[in-house]
Amino acid sequence: MFGVARVVFTMAVRYGPRLTRRAVLAAAGGVGVAGVLSGCSLFTPEEPALPPDPLEPLLASAHQLIARYQEAISAHPDLAPRLQPIQQAHEAHAEALQELIGRSPSPPGTGEAGSPPAPSPAAHPDDAAVLASLAELERAAAHQARLACLAAPAERTGLLGSITAARATHAEVLTWSD
């Protein structure tokens, strides 16, 4: 038993590298440099990077919205009773999306690098301007979620549908006058 294990181990050590090198050479044969380069992955234990989850942009926009609401609440504390529940909804969405994506959380804010337009802080806009600006963001975010829902596999449609509807209702209530 013990002997068998040792034999197997030894064989692996002895023949493993050779087999691998042969495989690489075979792969490279006729393919030139490209074949050799792609063969390198046989030596490196690292997994090739997984493609990003299609929900990553949606998660990023949830984080962006959370940040935007935080800015708005800080600058306009009088709006807090109205904005905080919406911000909390986006936090719940981010959590649910993260769970669905099933990867380690990317730090909030990293998503900011890409798409969204700069905050345009302007000269301390009034409440109405802040609400209008947030409503506009919510409309775009709802559209983004809608497209994600329509393209998603069945098991993801429920959450994405709810997020679409939530963002649409946010856009709506933000346009209501007090």
Partner 1 sequence: MVGLTKPVKPTPTESPATGRALTEPAQTEAPTGSPDPGSTAATAALTEALAAEYAAIFAYGPIGVKLDDELAEAAREAEAAHRARRDALILAFAADGVDPPAAEASYALPFEVTGAADALRLAVLVEERVAAVWRAALAASDGTTRAEALDALVDAALRAAGWRAAAGAAPATVPFPGTV
By CB under 8 A, name the binding residues for partner 1: 81-82, 85-86, 88-89, 92-93, 96, 142, 146, 149-150, 154-155, 157-166, 168-170, 172-173, 175-178
CB 137 within 8 A of CB 129: no
Question: Between residues 114 and 158, which has the closer beta carbon with respect to partner 1?
Answer: 158
For the bound state, the minimum distance from the C-beta of residue 161 to partner 1, rounded and expressed in Å, comes to: 5
Distance, CA of 136 to CA of 89 (rounded, Å):
17
Rounded (10°) CA dihedral 152, 154, 155, 157: 60
Q: For helices 154-174 and 80-101, give the axis angle rounded to 10 degrees.
A: 170
For the bound state, the minimum distance from the C-beta of residue 72 to partner 1, rounded and expressed in Å, comes to: 15
Question: Between residues 76 and 170, which has the closer beta carbon with respect to partner 1?
Answer: 170
Neighbours of 83 (CB within 10 A): 22
Question: Between residues 73 and 149, which has the closer beta carbon with respect to partner 1?
Answer: 149
Question: Between residues 108 and 146, which has the closer beta carbon with respect to partner 1?
Answer: 146
Q: Is 168 exposed, middle or buried (0-12, 13-18, 19+ CB in 10 A)?
A: middle
For the bound state, the minimum distance from the C-beta of residue 52 to partner 1, rounded and expressed in Å, comes to: 23
DSSP 83: H
For the bound state, the minimum distance from the C-beta of residue 60 to partner 1, rounded and expressed in Å, comes to: 19
Question: Between residues 27 and 139, which has the closer beta carbon with respect to partner 1?
Answer: 139
- 148 closest CA partner among 37, 58, 44: 58
For the bound state, the minimum distance from the C-beta of residue 64 to partner 1, rounded and expressed in Å, comes to: 17
